[in-house]
């Protein structure tokens, strides 16, 4: 049974006031001790724990705060209490109350600044992670015995084969939407036939690869982050490092290579299915026969659009896979962080893919592939 926490004063040998805490300093026995200690006005030289019983985190926090406010020295603490006091002191418990006291405009600026700092630090950490992956790739390339083909092939099923259904359905519907919206707008000018131009160029050049990358980010990138994050919590990755196995080579490279190899195939597959969906709507709504649709598609879609999609696909795949693995390796504390890092992996991958797509649009236009 716990003993109610209390305190009393005595005189230390050097004449300073000695605050002696008694009873159990645990949450169930604290009572009004915290309020009474806050109301102390006189000088305190020492906080004496010789008469204290059990101490938990709340009790340690109260002791540490009282000693700090009065510039006092904590004495006669047990080994367990000393460890708790050290941990509490490291947590900087005054940060949160200070932020709550900020006026709204300062709080907004504080949060914006904090978000900028986090974004910049994450960007630099991710660039460093990309460097580690590239270094590991060349290390494995010059030492083929380290290539984990079984691990790469195992990821083929999750990244590629199982994604065919959802990517096909998504692309088919996108093709129908592009054709329908294009036909509605072009009908005003009597130019419904140019709907085929819109379908062909947009799917092979942009939407086929872009929508596939977004789907892979939400499906496989999140899975990579969750898998590696769970391994981080269960200390499997620490065990791998202990036995001399590089997590980058064993976990990141197989997932990245599988995604890079499958992205061009999935992007081309998505483009073809989108064209089929658009062609079906043109046949039904615009009465354009399939043979005419295909002939017109071949005439208006340059081969450079196909090349653009093939060039972007593996780069998008590498970004999606590395973003998922990077966020998974950032998990440290608990299972809740796995969910947070999984969400961050999807957001980061989609953001980077769209930024790169905008860069490629400007670049290919500048070299005449427009």
- Write the pLDDT tens digit of every residue in 205-244: 888 999 999 999 999 999 999 999 999 888 899 899 889 8
Of residues 131, 120, 121, 124, the one with CA closest to residue 322: 131
Of residues 205, 215, 185, 196, the one with CA closest to residue 276: 196
Name the least confident of 143-152, 200-209, 286-295. Answer: 143-152
Q: What is the mean pLDDT of residues 356-363?
A: 93
Q: Per-residue confidence at 1, pLDDT binned at 50, 70, 90?
A: low
Instruction: Using the predicted structure, report yes or no on whether residue 5 has a pLDDT greater than 90.
Output: no
Predicted local distance difference test score (pLDDT) of residue 96: 44
Instruction: Using the predicted structure, report yes or no on whether residue 74 has a pLDDT greater than 90.
Output: no
Instruction: Using the predicted structure, report yes or no on whether residue 182 has a pLDDT greater than 70.
Output: yes
Handedness of CA 36, 9, 71, 65 (dihedral sign): negative
Q: Answer yes or no: are the C-beta atoms of 266 and 208 closer than 8 Å.
A: no
Q: What is the mean pLDDT of residues 67-80?
A: 85
Percent of the chain topping pLDDT 90: 47
Q: Per-residue confidence at 97, pLDDT binned at 50, 70, 90?
A: very low
Q: What is the mean pLDDT of residues 172-184?
A: 93
Q: How confident is the model over 122-138, as pLDDT tens digits? A: 999 999 999 999 999 99
The token duo for 356 is 């790169």
Predicted local distance difference test score (pLDDT) of residue 177: 94
Residue by residue, what is the 3-state secondary structure of 105-131? Answer: HHHHHHHHHHHHHHHHHHHHHHHHHHH
* Other Cβ atoms within 10 Å of 305 Cβ, number: 22
Predicted local distance difference test score (pLDDT) of residue 56: 86
Q: Rounded to the nearest 5 degrees, what angle is found at the Cα of 116, between the Cα atoms of 112 and 121?
A: 150
Name the least confident of 261-265, 289-293, 331-335. Answer: 331-335
pTM over 0.75: no
Instruction: Using the predicted structure, report yes or no on whether residue 271 has a pLDDT greater than 70.
Output: yes
Predicted local distance difference test score (pLDDT) of residue 60: 87
Residue by residue, what is the 3-state secondary structure of 295-325? Answer: HHHHHHCCHHHHHHHHHHHHHHHHHHHHHHH
Predicted local distance difference test score (pLDDT) of residue 192: 86
Rg value, the chain, Cα: 31
Q: Which residues contact 46 (CB under 8 A, 6 or more apart)?
A: 12, 16, 17, 18, 19, 72, 73, 74, 75
Q: Which residues contact 47 (CB under 8 A, 6 or more apart)?
A: 19, 21, 63, 66, 67, 70, 72, 73, 74, 75
Q: Per-residue confidence at 353, pLDDT binned at 50, 70, 90?
A: very high
β-pair type (17-25, 6-11): antiparallel
The rounded distance, in Å, linking the Cα atoms of 223 and 163 is 13
Predicted local distance difference test score (pLDDT) of residue 98: 47
- In the chain, the domains with their CATH numbers are 6-93 (3.30.750.24), 148-366 (no CATH)
Instruction: Using the predicted structure, report yes or no on whether residue 94 has a pLDDT greater than 70.
Output: no
H/E segment holding residue 17: strand 17-25
Q: What is the mean pLDDT of residues 59-85?
A: 85
Instruction: Using the predicted structure, report yes or no on whether residue 79 has a pLDDT greater than 90.
Output: no
Predicted local distance difference test score (pLDDT) of residue 99: 46
| Average pLDDT across the chain, whole number | 88
């Amino acid at each position: 049974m716990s003993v109610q926490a209390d305190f009393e004063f005595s005189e230390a040998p050097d004449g300073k006031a000695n605050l002696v805490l008694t009873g159990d300093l645990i949450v169930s026995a604290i009572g009004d001790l915290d309020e009474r200690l806050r109301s102390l006005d006189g000088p305190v030289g020492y906080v004496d724990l010789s008469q204290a019983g059990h101490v938990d985190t709340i009790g340690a926090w109260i002791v540490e705060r009282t000693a700090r406010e009065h510039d006092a020295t904590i004495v006669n603490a047990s080994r367990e209490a000393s460890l708790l006091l050290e941990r509490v002191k490291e947590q900087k418990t005054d940060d949160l109350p200070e932020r709550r006291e900020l006026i709204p405009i300062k709080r907004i600026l504080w949060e914006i600044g904090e978000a900028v700092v986090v974004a910049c630090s994450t960007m630099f950490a991710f660039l460093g992670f990309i460097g580690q992956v590239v270094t590991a790739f060349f290390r494995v390339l010059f030492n083929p015995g380290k290539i984990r083909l079984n691990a790469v092939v195992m990821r083929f099923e999750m990244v590629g084969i199982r994604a065919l259904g959802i990517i096909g359905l998504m692309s088919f519907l996108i093709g129908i939407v592009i054709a329908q919206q294009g036909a509605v707008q072009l009908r005003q000018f009597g130019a419904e036939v140019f709907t085929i131009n819109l379908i062909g160029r947009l799917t092979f050049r942009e939407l086929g690869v872009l929508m596939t990358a977004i789907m892979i980010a939400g499906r496989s990138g999140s899975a990579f982050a969750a898998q590696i994050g769970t391994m981080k919590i269960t200390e499997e990755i620490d065990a791998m490092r202990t036995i001399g196995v590089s997590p980058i080579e064993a976990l990141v490279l197989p997932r990245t290579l599988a995604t890079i190899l499958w992205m061009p195939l999935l992007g081309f597959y998505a483009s073809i299915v989108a064209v089929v969906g658009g062609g079906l709507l043109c046949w039904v709504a615009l009465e354009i026969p399939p043979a005419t649709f295909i002939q017109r598609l071949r005439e208006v879609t340059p081969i450079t659009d196909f090349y653009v999609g093939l060039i972007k696909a593996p780069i998008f795949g590498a970004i999606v896979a590395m973003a998922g693995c990077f966020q998974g390796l950032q998990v440290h504390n608990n299972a809740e962080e796995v969910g947070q890092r999984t969400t961050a992996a999807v957001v980061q991958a989609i953001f980077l893919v769209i930024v790169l797509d905008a860069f490629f649009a400007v670049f290919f236009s500048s070299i005449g592939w427009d």
